[in-house]
């Protein structure tokens, strides 16, 4: 049996079914993302694991024991909230120390572990600051440290990077992955950002209307999407002759599907094309290799491998 197992987990609010018979097994040390648009049930699923929302039906087991029978305060899970939910009246060190205090750990041991965890997230020198005096990225690290310091069996991340700007988000993604590898905590991330999910996860669960449309490693879901929704959600895709083809798989060739270049956009490391064909508009992405590329209005032929 998996480390954490969700079995036919269901939550309905009145007649609205937020999570519909979700079954998922998460292995120890694994990083799994729940990915989907807003309202797909990913956050509700996380809240049920955390214990803040009572499931309507189904089971949650952690190492074989029934988690639904355990109070939220006793589950021992680390949670990073979208808003971070730091305690504004406590210093960084007090925030991180709170969970250890609740476990009744002695002051000396607490101080040691707080220092250790703050060093892990690179905030060692900010221990005495209040959350208000920190930047968004720093607050995010405090939230992560606060969740990790209690050595949780599972780390739950609820859109933890969505409040950061694009550049910082990328940096934090790399750092988050490194920290997760270092401590080896089983992690479940909830996100609507497919790039983030694919960059961080061992496996992703693509959710829509409360159901898991596909569960698998990111590259597998990307290359062999189970449904049209998964294909569309994980990246740009073309539907040609009923088959789904990724734009970067299409190349300009001497023969193939004939079309005219409608728009051409230069994006630094690649070119983005919209080609008008008999099958409709086809999006093509070509690496920028420095060579001359077809211009707008040019007649081209498109070819792609049979993948």
Partner 1 sequence: MAYLLSLPALLLFAGVVVIPLAMTVILTFHDWGQYKGIEPVFILKNWREVFGDPYYGEMFGRTFRIALIVTVLAALFGAPEAYILNRMKSPWRGIFLLVVLGPLLISVVARTLGWALLFGGNSGLVNKVLLSLGVISGAIPFMFTETGMVVALVHVLMPYMVLSVWAALQRLDPQIENAAVALGAGPLTVLRRIVLPQAMPGILSGGVIVFALAASAFATPAIIGGRRLKVASTLVYDEFLNTLNWPLGAVVAVLLLAALAMIVIGANRLVERRYAQVFG
Binding region for partner 1 (CB under 8 A): 50-52, 72-79, 81-83, 85-89, 98-99, 102-103, 130, 132-133, 146, 150
* Identity of the residue, 59 or 85, whose beta carbon is nearer to partner 1 in the bound complex: 85
Pseudo-torsion of CA 100, 103, 106, 110, nearest 10°? -10
* Identity of the residue, 102 or 265, whose beta carbon is nearer to partner 1 in the bound complex: 102
Least separation in angstroms between CB 102 and partner 1: 4
* Identity of the residue, 46 or 215, whose beta carbon is nearer to partner 1 in the bound complex: 46
Q: How far apart are the first and last CA of the chain?
A: 34
Residues with Cβ within 8 Å of residue 55, at least 6 apart in sequence? 9, 10, 11, 19, 48, 68
Least separation in angstroms between CB 173 and partner 1: 22
3-class secondary structure, 32: strand
Residues with Cβ within 8 Å of residue 56, at least 6 apart in sequence? 10, 11, 12
Least separation in angstroms between CB 212 and partner 1: 24
Least separation in angstroms between CB 109 and partner 1: 16
* Identity of the residue, 3 or 81, whose beta carbon is nearer to partner 1 in the bound complex: 81
**Consecutive H or E run containing 183:** helix 166-183
Which position has the token pair 């750092």?
175
* Identity of the residue, 32 or 143, whose beta carbon is nearer to partner 1 in the bound complex: 143
Least separation in angstroms between CB 134 and partner 1: 13
Length of the chain: 307
Least separation in angstroms between CB 18 and partner 1: 17
Distance (Å, whole) CA 164 – CA 14: 34
* Identity of the residue, 102 or 299, whose beta carbon is nearer to partner 1 in the bound complex: 102
Look at residues 260, 254, 304 and name the one whose alpha carbon lies nearest to residue 278.
260
Which position has the token pair 């993604």?
173
């Amino acid at each position: 049996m998996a480390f954490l197992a969700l079995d036919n987990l269901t939550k309905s609010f009145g007649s609205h079914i937020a999570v519909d018979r979700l079954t998922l097994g998460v292995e120890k040390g694994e990083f799994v993302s729940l990915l989907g648009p807003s309202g797909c049930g990913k956050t509700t699923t996380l809240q049920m694991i955390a214990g803040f929302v009572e499931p309507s039906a189904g089971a949650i087991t952690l190492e074989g024991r029934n988690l639904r029978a355990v109070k939220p305060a006793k589950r021992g899970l680390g949670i990073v909230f979208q808003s971070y939910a730091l305690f504004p009246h406590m210093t960084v060190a007090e925030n991180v120390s709170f969970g250890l205090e609740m476990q009744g750990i002695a002051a000396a041991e607490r101080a040691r572990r707080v220092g250790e965890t703050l060093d892990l997230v690179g905030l060692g020198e900010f221990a005495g600051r209040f959350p208000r005096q920190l930047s968004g990225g720093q607050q995010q690290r405090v939230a992560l440290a606060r969740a990790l310091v209690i050595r949780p069996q599972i780390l739950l991340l609820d859109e933890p990077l969505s409040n950061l700007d694009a550049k910082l988000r990328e940096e934090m993604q790399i750092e988050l992955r490194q920290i997760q590898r270092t401590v080896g905590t089983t992690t479940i991330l909830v996100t609507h950002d497919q790039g983030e999910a694919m960059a961080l996860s061992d496996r992703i669960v693509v959710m829509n209307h409360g159901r898991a449309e596909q569960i698998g490693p990111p590259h597998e879901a990307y290359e062999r999407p189970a449904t049209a929704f998964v294909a569309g959600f994980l990246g740009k895709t073309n539907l040609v002759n009923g088959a789904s083809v990724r734009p970067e798989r299409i190349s300009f060739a001497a023969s193939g599907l004939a079309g005219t270049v409608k728009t051409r956009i230069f994006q630094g490391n690649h070119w983005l094309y919209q080609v008008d064909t008999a099958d409709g508009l086809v999006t093509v992405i070509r690496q920028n290799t420095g060579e001359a590329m077809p211009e707008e209005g040019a007649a081209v032929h498109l070819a792609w491998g049979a993948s």
